[in-house]
Amino acid sequence: MSYAKTYPLWLAALVLSGCSSLDQAGCINADWRTLGFEDGIKGRNESQIRQYRQDCAKHGITPDLDAYRAGHFEGSAQFCTAKNGFAQGSGNHSYQNSCPAEFASAFTAGYRDGQTLYQARSQLDGARSELRKVQQELQQLEKTISQLNEQLVADGLSREQRIKIRDELAKLNESLGQANLVRDELAAAIIVYQNEFSRLQQHFSY
């Protein structure tokens, strides 16, 4: 029987709500194998059955542990693949150590590779974000310097005012030079990060 295509209505409602607990109706009508399958295919740990035990104990109902475990194993077989591990890792999703020993090594290998790609992408994105900030800073500095240069040649300024403007311009031009250096360093780093990210994308064949 395939549990991936057909679910009881109560389970569909449970999945849509994202809920991991059961009310009285859920405990009474539970297909424990199907529920185990659903938890397994979503990467939930088998220990989730403890929550169901607590929920159903309130209503005098005991979950079918063997059926739940059998379904969970079948669901885990679909979740715990190297390809899905890579997808989970590259998406920076948490892993709850839910995969049975039979599938864990393949999944975790894919997950580690996915995390490597995620970190490379994060490094690239971070550098791009910093470059945008520096470019905005440069625009503001250039605008302020231009305004002060216009003030400097205006009529009616006292000697003290001109000295003050020149001092401010000197500081701003120094900041401008430093910001230009940072911009150039970031631009160079982005090329390196982009090349590494592209290399990893081609290297990982999932």
Sequence-distant (6+) residues with CB within 8 A of 163 are none
Helices 82-90 and 101-152: crossing angle in degrees, nearest 10, is 20
Residue 89 pLDDT more than 80? yes
d(CA 128, CA 177): 20
Alpha-carbon distance of 184 to 169, in angstroms, equals 22
What is the CB neighbour count within 10 angstroms for residue 19?
A: 11
Distance CA 129, CA 190 (A): 10
The residue that leads in pLDDT, 2 or 123, is: 123
- The reported pLDDT for the residue numbered 20 is 64
User: Would you say residue 137 has pLDDT above 80?
Assistant: yes
Per residue in 123-134, pLDDT (tens digit) is: 999 999 999 999
At residue 21, the pLDDT reads 79
CA–CA separation, 15 and 18 (whole Å): 5
Q: pLDDT value at position 16?
A: 34
What residues contact 201, with CB distance under 8 A and at least 6 apart? 117
DSSP state letters, 75-122: HHHHHSSHHHHHHHHHTT----S-S-HHHHHHHHHHHHHHHHHHHHHH
Question: What pLDDT was estimated at residue 116?
Answer: 98
Assess whether pLDDT exceeds 50 at residue 79: yes
- Per-residue pLDDT at 8 exceeds 60: no
pLDDT at 206: 84
